[in-house]
Amino acid sequence: MGRKWNNIKEKKASKDANTSRIYAKFGVEIYVAAKKGEPDPEANRALKVVLERAKTYNVPKAIIDRALEKAKGASDENYVELRYEGFGPNGSMVIVDALTNNVNRTAAAVRAAFNKNGGNMGVNGSVAYMFDATAVIGVAGKTVDEVIELLLEADVDVRDVVEEDDSVIVYADPEQFHNVQEAFKNNGVTEFTVAELTMIPQTYVSLPEEAQAPFEKLIDALEDLEDVQQVYHNVDSE
């Protein structure tokens, strides 16, 4: 898996550094997770995962508290989880995850973003089978051997443990997200450089130079949509 996660995260961090867009998206995601169960992260594992992810993006406490209070209140705003699959320039593959309270609006907006930027929508299952749902958790101040040892002691199964820049990154099944974090916390690690649930492509493709700008434009257009939470693709950014 190598540096693929860092490349994606660095691009996202740069894009969102001076905007509140990512915070607004987390606000919706926290609200939806809290409404599905208890608005208490200790009693709602899905909510706990979202809050751990939000910490690595420095989402302000005020936004988190507002979303939780909204979930505790009388709000009956309902969101639907949607996934769209499609293709970008040169056959690149794209997955779009959305949370929306207006399915027709979101579907039209996603389709328009594809059509206006050299892509096209695919049917359900046309792309997702080439990606693996993955928990990605990173820590600083540990070696790969130390991380492997603490995971073995906690009897946590993972896919891979690698060093990427200044972090040790653990790749695991999504169901192991909480167990990996607990193994770290039980060893005194409370801060994570990465704590994410993502879709990692099984293989990457490289785009010719003339296709790179159109592809970036497509991804930017999709990420800028209000209802879109995550965009995944299989283009090698190195």
Strands of 21-175, DSSP E: 80-87, 93-100, 120-121, 131-139, 160-164, 167-172
Residues 195 and 208 in one domain: no
Query: From edge to edge, which strands make up the β-sheet containing 131-139?
Result: 160-164, 167-172, 131-139, 194-201
Residues 139 and 120 in one domain: no
Grade residue 9 by pLDDT with cuts at 50, 70 and 90: low
CATH of the domain at 160: 3.30.70.980
**Domain assignment present for 238:** no
Tell me: the pLDDT tens digits for 73-96? 877 888 999 999 999 988 899 999
Residues 26 and 142 in one domain: no
Residues 8 and 123 in one domain: no
Residues 22 and 10 in one domain: yes
Give me the mean pLDDT over the 98-113 stretch: 97
CATH of the domain at 41: 1.10.10.200
pLDDT of residue 127: 96
Integer Cα distance of 131 and 201 in angstroms: 4
| Structural domains counted in the chain | 3
Q: Which residue has the tokens 């993006």?
A: 57
Integer Cα distance of 140 and 167 in angstroms: 5
Residues 123 and 136 in one domain: no
Residue at a domain's end among 72, 105, 121: 72
pLDDT of residue 4: 56
Residues 61 and 97 in one domain: no
Residues 89 and 143 in one domain: no
Print the domain residue range for 175: 132-201
Tell me: the pLDDT tens digits for 173-230? 999 999 999 999 999 998 999 999 999 999 999 999 999 999 999 999 999 999 999 9
Residues 100 and 211 in one domain: yes
pLDDT of residue 18: 47
Residues 57 and 111 in one domain: no
Residues 166 and 111 in one domain: no
Residues 176 and 208 in one domain: no
- Biggest CA–CA distance in the chain, Å, is 52
Tell me: the pLDDT tens digits for 10-53? 555 555 554 678 899 999 999 999 998 888 898 999 999 999 99
